[in-house]
């Protein structure tokens, strides 16, 4: 099932997105998409709605240097254990919403990633049981003010600006994340191309590691790391991240 969040002619709603590409319908979900969702009976043509970020996360947890080639391009060995950091939920935007480059940064980078969406409250989840707490997967761009990340020695400022966590276009609940193609294009030119099978720490291990530290809540988002090929974006460009089996997340870039 594809779960999304839309601005419809009748307001903002969670929806199930059904039908063939180009002729999809959005079926309104009552209340929330967790568990076994119930439906209100209202539907719209997806083309008559505007896709929003598919979830409003309590927190966004990210994995750093989870591809060996990216660790190498950052100038260090891959970490033995997952390295986690947080982005504020105010950094989340949806498809088509501009990524805003702050005037205090001289370099703002794209980082295409697979994102996990948690489906129920959980703590101390074994890797083998991770699938039981996952609602589904979406596409993410871990936008980073690279100069500030390096200058600060920790990543909160460089990762935390408003608009620095595009998510979308929807959540795919029926997906095996173990070996999916992932790519990023900038103005149509491919900049990143890899597969999730090359992650150093897989989805189960990531959920286990994080849930040992903190309780995960429904709607929490986990960004699983970016492959090599990161680079800067400037105003007027458009960045797209595609994950096989989910779709493409596209955002323009503007200066504040």
- Count how many domains the chain has: 2
Instruction: Tell whether 6 and 96 lie within a shared domain.
Output: no
Region 46-57: what's the mean pLDDT? 96
Tens-digit pLDDT profile for residues 91-103: 999 999 999 999 9
Q: For residue 18, give its domain range.
A: 2-50
How much is the pTM? 0.97
∠ CA 238-196-165, rounded to 5°: 40
- Same domain for 104 and 139, yes or no, is yes
Read off the pLDDT of residues 169-205 as tens digits, 9 standing for 90 and up: 999 999 999 999 999 999 999 999 999 999 999 999 9
Local structure of residue 46 (DSSP, 8 states): G
Is 19 part of a structural domain of the chain? Answer: yes
Res. 75 pLDDT band, cuts 50 70 90: confident
- In this structure, the answer to whether residues 158 and 33 fall within a common structural domain is no
- 136 touches 171 (CB < 8 A): yes
Residue 55 lies in a domain: no
Q: Would the CA dihedral through 243, 106, 94, 9 be positive or negative? A: negative
**Domain match, 90 and 150 both:** yes
Q: What was the pLDDT predicted at 74?
A: 84
- Residue located via tokens 């597969």: 195
């Amino acid at each position: 099932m594809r779960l999304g969040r839309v601005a419809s002619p009748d307001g903002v709603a969670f929806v199930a997105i059904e039908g063939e590409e180009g002729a999809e319908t959005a079926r309104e979900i009552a209340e929330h998409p967790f568990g076994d969702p119930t439906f209100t009976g209202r539907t719209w043509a997806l083309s008559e709605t505007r896709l929003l970020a598919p979830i409003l996360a309590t927190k966004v947890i990210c994995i750093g240097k989870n591809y060996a080639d990216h660790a190498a391009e950052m100038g260090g060995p891959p970490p033995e254990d997952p390295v986690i950091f947080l982005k504020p939920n105010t950094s989340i935007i949806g498809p088509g919403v501009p990524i805003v480059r702050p005037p205090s940064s001289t370099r703002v980078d794209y980082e295409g990633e697979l994102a996990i969406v948690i489906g129920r409250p959980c703590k101390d989840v074994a890797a083998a049981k991770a699938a039981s707490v996952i609602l589904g997967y979406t596409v993410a761009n871990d936008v980073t003010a690279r100069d500030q990340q390096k200058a600060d020695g920790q990543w909160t400022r460089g990762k935390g600006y408003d608009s620095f966590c595009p998510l979308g276009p929807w959540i795919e609940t029926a997906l095996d994340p173990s070996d999916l193609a992932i790519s990023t294009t900038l103005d149509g030119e491919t900049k990143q191309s890899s597969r999730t099978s090359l992650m150093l720490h897989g989805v189960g291990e990531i959920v286990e590691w994080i849930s040992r530290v903190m309780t995960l809540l429904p709607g929490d988002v986990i960004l699983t790391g970016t492959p090599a090929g990161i680079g800067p974006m400037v105003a007027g460009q458009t960045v797209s991240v595609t994950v096989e089996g989910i779709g493409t997340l596209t955002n323009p870039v503007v200066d504040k």
